[in-house]
């Protein structure tokens, strides 16, 4: 998977209006959508009245849909902080995984999420892959206990000082 002009090549793209200014992402934030199906989750993030969005949605079947360029602020993190920064929407790429919150993630879904994260990490100076629960503790629990963190944390090869 490759990225050109801040978009994944070869995936479905539906531009959300729920977005802001240009950003320089340094984090990836993993979420679950809480929805029973991918269509309703994507429609919700496209609806201007929802005032929520993410850069990417990945269905349980591993279908990747991009909703905004990676260098544009999406509204996925809400009230959040990490490493001395507040409002992580200004510093992060949001990935929504179709999951009600208590489901085991599918192999196809995790494989697609890893592929997307690898492309992002290769293209942007990503420092960490975090969960919504990390940046909004006590307020959010996603991506949940079922999320296979070890498969994602190893995708980051540099520490904060750029050393491998």
Residue 12's SS3 state is strand
Q: Taking residues 25-46, what's their average pLDDT?
A: 97
Q: How many CA atoms lie within 13 A of 97 on its CB side?
A: 32
How confident is residue 163, by pLDDT bands cut at 50, 70 and 90?
very low
Q: Taking residues 124-130, what's their average pLDDT?
A: 97
Mean pLDDT, the chain, integer = 94
Q: Which is catalytic among the residues 4, 15, 96, 118?
A: 96
Of the listed ranges 51-55, 142-146, 156-160, the one predicted with least confidence: 156-160
Q: Is 96 a catalytic residue?
A: yes
Percent of the chain with pLDDT over 90: 93
Tens of pLDDT along 78-120?
Answer: 999 999 999 999 999 999 999 999 999 999 999 999 999 999 9
What count of other Cβ atoms lies within 10 Å of the Cβ of residue 16? 22
- Position 92 scores a pLDDT of 98
Q: How far is Cα 151 from Cα 108, in angstroms, rounded to an integer?
A: 14
Tens of pLDDT along 47-69?
Answer: 999 999 999 999 999 999 999 99
- Position 2 scores a pLDDT of 97
Pairing of strands 92-97, 56-58: parallel
How confident is residue 157, by pLDDT bands cut at 50, 70 and 90?
low
Annotate 20-80 with DSSP letters as a single string: EEE----EEEEEE---SSHHHHHHHHH-TTT----SEEE-TT--EEE-S-TTEEES-S-S-
Q: Taking residues 9-24, what's their average pLDDT?
A: 98
């Amino acid at each position: 998977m490759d990225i050109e002009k801040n978009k994944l090549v070869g995936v479905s793209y539906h531009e959300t209006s729920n977005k802001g200014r240009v950003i320089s992402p340094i984090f990836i934030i993993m979420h679950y959508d809480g929805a029973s199906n991918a269509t309703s989750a994507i429609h919700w993030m496209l609806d201007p009245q929802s005032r929520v969005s993410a850069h990417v949605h990945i269905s349980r079947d591993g279908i990747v849909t991009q909703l905004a360029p990676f260098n544009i602020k999406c509204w996925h993190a809400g009230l959040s902080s990490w490493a001395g920064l507040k409002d992580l929407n200004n510093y992060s790429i949001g990935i929504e995984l179709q999951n009600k919150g208590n489901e085991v993630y599918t192999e196809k879904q995790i494989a697609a999420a890893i592929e997307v994260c690898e492309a992002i990490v290769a293209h942007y100076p990503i420092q960490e892959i975090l969960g919504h629960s990390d940046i909004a503790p006590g307020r959010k629990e996603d991506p949940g206990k079922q999320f296979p963190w070890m498969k994602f944390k190893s995708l980051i090869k540099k520490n904060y000082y750029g050393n491998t």
